Structure 1
Amino acid sequence: MMIKQLPDNDKPREKLIAKGAINLADSELLAILINTGRKGHSSLEVAQDLIKLAHSLRELKSFSLNDLTKVKGIGLNKAVILKAAFELGERMHVPDIEEKIKISSPQDAADYFLARMMHLTHEQFEVLFLNSKNIVIRHEVIFVGTLNSSIVHPREVFKAAIKWSSNAIIVVHNHPSGDVTPSKEDIATTKRLQECGRVLGIELLDHIIIGDAKYLSMVEGGYLEN
């Protein structure tokens, strides 16, 4: 059934206006973004096809443009709109650097990244660059790895730290498995970064591992002396 044939209170746009976005199903919100369907199928049906293919919104967010366009009714323009919407939603959880956020604890560092990184399906290694008062100057993605490994070179981390005149850094990476237990490679990488930081006079304050709605601090876990 085409959306125009539905009662007004069942049409996604009208339902959002009348009841608010929170009362719409995932497929209804997607249908609004998709806007138009394909021949014989409404935008709501195309949205349902997307969710069925991805199994979850988390997986759908990780779809590439090419993945999205495999669904009939999703051309490149619609795929771009969907990717832009997913990215905006993700950025809503990232603090604005201009807010001058101070990192006073591992929890502060974890909160900075948790909402954005816990759903990633690949390993990503990022760094918080801090000034002498532990206020965030900037953060950068240093390395994007595979599901199982992340190779980080200290020169890349400290090259950026010097560029931003950092007094200290906190490194953060995620485990797509959700398990925050550090691997031998994680521990070795942390110790290597700490040693290099001491030589350069840029302190490594912590290494945070992000999992599924949880985190581990290398300092709190006793893996890193600080």
Structure 2
Amino acid sequence: MTRSPVEERPRERLLRLGAANLRTAELLAILIRTGRKGITTLQAGEKITTEFNDRLDQLKDAGRGELACLCPVVRETAYCQIMAGIELGRRVAAAAAENAERVVTIRGSQDAINYCRRRFQRLAVDARQEEFHVVTLDTKNHVLNDHLISRGLLDQTVVHPREVFRPAIKDAAKSVILVHNHPSGDATPSDKDLALTRRLEDAGKLLDIQVLDHIVVAATEATSLREYQGLGLEV
């Protein structure tokens, strides 16, 4: 086996720099793992990279014999590792694309209402007591998570700013949407709802976490407190 000088060893470079900072030849060398007399794994990786050049996507279709003829160091084990690495990368990319399609972006109150109707349908229809949730969003207003803050009769003691913004800080959120239900089936905000929202908005300003909206869900209804007359939340 021919070993690479320490400064050339791709595995050490990956651990030090991360996989994204390695050349394609180095990534292939890690998958090949074992060289032969007169040729290192890195040289083998460079040979494959040069051969496929700008058609690297075709490497997945290369047969075992084709790679073995091109570079004898690619024996059965190395070939299997290369193909497994390619397939794993393909599946990761496919999962990322699928998740991107599921990303929910809140562009305004109607988006917030639509999201909350879907996400909190059970809460709106079936819940017999009030629940208060906070939905966290990133800098692009993509939904990150939703968190249950309290269950039971809501007041300013139960729904404390500390409890509301703790998950937002943990999620590194830039903004939040407040959500709670009215078991009565009437989504009209109460005076307590308005007062609580203003209090939480003020607390969010101190933390640089914006309260984008507060949605009340009830039966088949949903109300945006941002759009509700008299609240005047800042956009």
Q: Which runs of 5+ in 1 are unaligned?
A: 1-95
Deviation at 1:145, TM superposition (A): 1.0
Q: Give the match for residue 184 of structure 2.
A: 177
CA deviation map 1:93-125 (0-9, x unaligned): xxx898211111222222223223211211111
Residue 156 of structure 1, CA deviation: 0.4
Alignment pair present for 1:100 and 2:108: no
1:118 aligns to 2:121 (yes or no): no
Structure 2 residue 228 is matched with structure 1 residue 225:
no
Residues 166/183 of structure 1: CA separation in 2 closer, same or farther (3 Å cut):
same
In the alignment, the residues of structure 1 paired with residue 116 and residue 141 of structure 2 have an alpha-carbon distance, to the nearest angstrom, of 16
Determine the C-alpha separation between the residues in 2 that align with 1:213 and 1:187.
21
What corresponds to 2:206 in structure 1?
A: 199
- Tell me the distance in 2 between the aligned counterparts of 1:196 and 1:178: 29
Give the letter for the 1:212 counterpart: A
Residue of structure 1 in register with 2:144 after alignment: 137
- Higher-Rg structure is 2
Corresponding letter in the other structure for 1:204: V
| 1:13-59 Cα shifts (integer Å, max 9, x gaps) | xxxxxxxxxxxxxxxxxxxxxxxxxxxxxxxxxxxxxxxxxxxxxxx
Contact 1:97-1:137 within 8 A present in 2 as well: no
SS at match of 2:140: coil
Give the aligned partner of residue 187 of structure 1. Answer: 194
2:213 match: secondary structure:
strand
Structure 1 consecutive aligned stretches of length 4 or more whose deviation exceeds 3 Å: none
Quick one: which amino acid aligns to residue 108 of structure 1?
A: D
Distance 1:136 1:104 in 2: 11
Whole-angstrom distance in 1 between the partners of 2:114 and 2:139 = 21
Q: Aligned partners of 2:216, 2:144: CA distance in 1, in Å?
A: 21
Relative to structure 1, the CA distance from residue 173 to residue 167 in structure 2 (aligned partners, 3 Å threshold; closer, same or farther) is same
Q: Report the equivalent of 2:36.
A: none
Q: CA RMSD in A?
A: 1.8
Give the partner amino acid of 2:203. C
Q: Deviations over 1:111-155 (max 9, x none)?
A: 223223211211111111000100011111111114xx4531110
Choose the corresponding residue for 1:127, options 113, 129, 134.
134
| TM-score (ref. length: structure 2) | 0.52
CA distance in 2, matches of 1:100, 1:206: 19
Write the distance in 2 (CA, Å) between the matches of 1:100 and 1:134.
10
Q: Which runs of structure 2 are paired with 1:1-226 in the superposition (5 Å)?
A: 99-114=102-117, 115-119=121-125, 120-146=127-153, 149-150=154-155, 151-222=158-229, 223-226=231-234
* Structure with greater helix share of residues: 2
Q: Which runs of 5+ in 2 are unaligned?
A: 1-98
Does the Cα contact within 8 Å between 2:131 and 2:150 map onto a contact in 1? yes
**Which residue identity is paired with 1:198?**
K
Q: How many angstroms apart in 2 are the aligned matches of 1:104 and 1:178?
A: 27
Partners of 1:97 and 1:118 lie apart in 2 by 27
Equivalents in 2 of 1:182, 1:97: separation in Å?
A: 34
Query: CA separation in 2, counterparts of 1:163 and 1:132?
Result: 15
Could you state the TM-score of these two structures normalised by the residue count of structure 1? Answer: 0.53
SS of the residue 2:148 aligns to: strand
Contact 2:215 2:225 in 1 (8 A): yes
Separation of aligned partners in 2, 1:97 and 1:108: 17
Aligned sequence identity (%):
40
Offset at residue 159 of structure 1 (A):
1.0
